A and B are shown apart, each in its own frame.
Chain A
């Protein structure tokens, strides 16, 4: 089958739309995360989402998101917003425990209590790494509509609060000293990050979600030294890399999610080289 033929199938279209939408969301939320030095948090939180998914599978919930989303949002708020308030364990240690712990608990729960027949290993692999073939990429129409709605909300949020997201990322002490409420924006940002990660984990798997949070932001930082440049750059890079990855995967029958990650890694090295070259020429 040729790509053009494959594109006529609804599931290919859904996969394409879902991956681009999630690329927009994850790259936007990724920029403040990376700049606040919370790069690893994307991976930790997608593992939390995986654990939520495992519980939902075991208790056979029809709508897994009803469990996964609140769980991920709560974990994000705990790590990001309120992390420094109840500092019993250091931020770095609590993130590491959450990352490793939730992955282990999720895997343990699925393997021990799963009542559903079928291939457990494959279900686990799909939740972590996304589908191995495009057909199994987990996008159904109602989920794509939800993704579209969430993307719209995320984009509107970033447009409206763009300047304040910048301010709270750059220097929260200044905001507080000048009578503003940085904690409010941090909370909003945590909620959005949690929702995006839960949604994206469901559609694309946790590994691709974590990659979409860090790679576009870091790639953009190679070529731009202004905040606006980094935000726009990250979104554009993510939006370009996802379709390239999906088409490459279609053409050569590769696993789509990890192919998208490969494209993102390639983009990172390419833009690093471009950035270095520009500095040398300047």
Chain B
């Protein structure tokens, strides 16, 4: 049995002291592929931001077994300026800063190797020198995934990475993620509105505000099998 990478205990999330969901409990083991799903406004993005340390929990705890500087992050698309003058390489390399010493002005040899590795895994090598603003939506997301991967020794956290992408780009993105999860044992924690994709690729699901939750609770946590079974059960009942 693996020890959990992430433990969320009695967590209450919200903005400005106003709670949206409370008593959230779940844990993520190393190598898991967790999707957080739910309708708009159920707090899935707030939950992800709380897990990534961008928002403070109202109460409860989020505990990672590894330091934050070893966890990659891919922000919501709205949070990134798509016309920013920067090359794909400049953006991807900045993923190495979390573990770099503050007084070093350049990237070390190890860091450069890590950057090259991440570029290869995400298939961005062909357009690494191009400007971020000139890339397609799917390419931009892969560049941001590569940056997260440079940081990630163990896990990446993704906030709606496939929103607004065309079907071909979505398929490609899921392909890259699944490969990372299978081959590199990178834990994936992802918010998505794409339930079909989540059922197909994830190992575990957290659903906020759905009908599959136990009585008295407003969230569901379990394996994908469990999740699909509950859905069928609800349809019959």
Name the residue of chain B whose CB is nearest to the CB of A159.
B105
CB distance from B102 to the nearest CB of A (A): 8
Which B residues are CB-close (under 8 A) to A159?
105
Residue among B68, B87, B134 making CB contact with A178, cutoff 8 Å = B68
CB of B71 within 8 A of chain A?
Answer: yes
Q: Give per-residue flags for B147-161: 1 if the beta carbon is below 8 A from chain A beta carbons, else 0.
A: 100010000010000
Is the Cβ of A163 less than 8 Å from the Cβ of B94?
A: yes
Is the Cβ of A226 less than 8 Å from the Cβ of B87?
A: yes
Q: Give per-residue flags for B54-77: 1 if the beta carbon is below 8 A from chain A beta carbons, else 0.
A: 100000000000011101110100
Is the Cβ of A180 less than 8 Å from the Cβ of B90?
A: no
Total count of chain A residues near the partner, CB < 8 A: 27
CB of A117 within 8 A of chain B?
Answer: no
Which A residues are CB-close (under 8 A) to B79?
171, 173
Is the Cβ of B75 less than 8 Å from the Cβ of A173?
A: yes
Q: Name the interface residues of A155-178: CB closer than 8 Å to any CB of B.
A: 159-164, 166-167, 170-171, 173-178
Is the Cβ of B54 less than 8 Å from the Cβ of A163?
A: no
Name the residue of chain A whose CB is nearest to the CB of B84.
A170
Q: Name the interface residues of B88-136: CB closer than 8 Å to any CB of A.
A: 90-91, 93-95, 97-98, 102-103, 105, 107, 131, 133-134
Q: Is the interface of B mostly helix, strand, loop or mixed?
A: mixed
Contact A166 B73, CB 8 Å, known A179-B68, A229-B85: no
CB of B175 within 8 A of chain A?
Answer: no
Which B residues are CB-close (under 8 A) to A227?
85-87, 90
CB distance from B63 to the nearest CB of A (A): 14
CB distance from A35 to the nearest CB of B (A): 7
Which A residues are CB-close (under 8 A) to B67?
179
Is the Cβ of B94 less than 8 Å from the Cβ of A166?
A: yes
Q: Name the interface residues of A190-235: CB closer than 8 Å to any CB of B.
A: 221, 224-230
Which A residues are CB-close (under 8 A) to B86?
166, 170, 225-227
Bound CA span A176–B79, Å: 13
Q: Name the interface residues of A225-261: CB closer than 8 Å to any CB of B.
A: 225-230
CB of B200 within 8 A of chain A?
Answer: no
Is the Cβ of A180 less than 8 Å from the Cβ of B54?
A: no
Is the Cβ of A35 less than 8 Å from the Cβ of B84?
A: yes
Bound CA span A226–B87, Å: 5
CB of B53 within 8 A of chain A?
Answer: yes
CB of B80 within 8 A of chain A?
Answer: yes
Bound CA span A223–B23, Å: 53
Is the Cβ of A226 less than 8 Å from the Cβ of B69?
A: no
CB of B52 within 8 A of chain A?
Answer: yes
- How extensive is the interface on chain B, given as a class? 20 to 34
Is the Cβ of B134 less than 8 Å from the Cβ of A179?
A: no
Residue among B72, B81, B105, B131 making CB contact with A160, cutoff 8 Å = B105
Is the Cβ of B54 less than 8 Å from the Cβ of A170?
A: no
Which A residues are CB-close (under 8 A) to B54?
173, 176-177
Bound CA span A167–B81, Å: 12
Which A residues are CB-close (under 8 A) to B105?
159-163
CB distance from B109 to the nearest CB of A (A): 16
Bound CA span A230–B86, Å: 9
Name the residue of chain B whose CB is nearest to the CB of A158.
B105
Q: Name the interface residues of B4-57: CB closer than 8 Å to any CB of A.
A: 52-54
Is the Cβ of B53 less than 8 Å from the Cβ of A174?
A: no
Which B residues are CB-close (under 8 A) to A35?
84-85
Bound CA span A228–B81, Å: 17
Is the Cβ of A180 less than 8 Å from the Cβ of B87?
A: no
Q: Nearest 5 A-B pairs (CB), nearest first?
A: A179-B68, A225-B131, A177-B73, A178-B98, A177-B52
Given contacts A177-B54, A177-B68, A178-B95, 10 further A-B contacts (CB under 8 A): A161-B105, A163-B94, A163-B97, A164-B97, A166-B94, A173-B54, A176-B54, A177-B53, A177-B75, A178-B69
Interface residues of B (CB under 8 A from A): 52-54, 67-69, 71-73, 75, 79-81, 84-87, 90-91, 93-95, 97-98, 102-103, 105, 107, 131, 133-134, 147, 151, 157
Interface residues of A (CB under 8 A from B): 35, 159-164, 166-167, 170-171, 173-180, 221, 224-230
CB<8 Å pairs between A and B, sample of 10? A163-B105, A166-B86, A167-B94, A171-B75, A177-B157, A179-B53, A180-B97, A180-B98, A226-B85, A226-B87
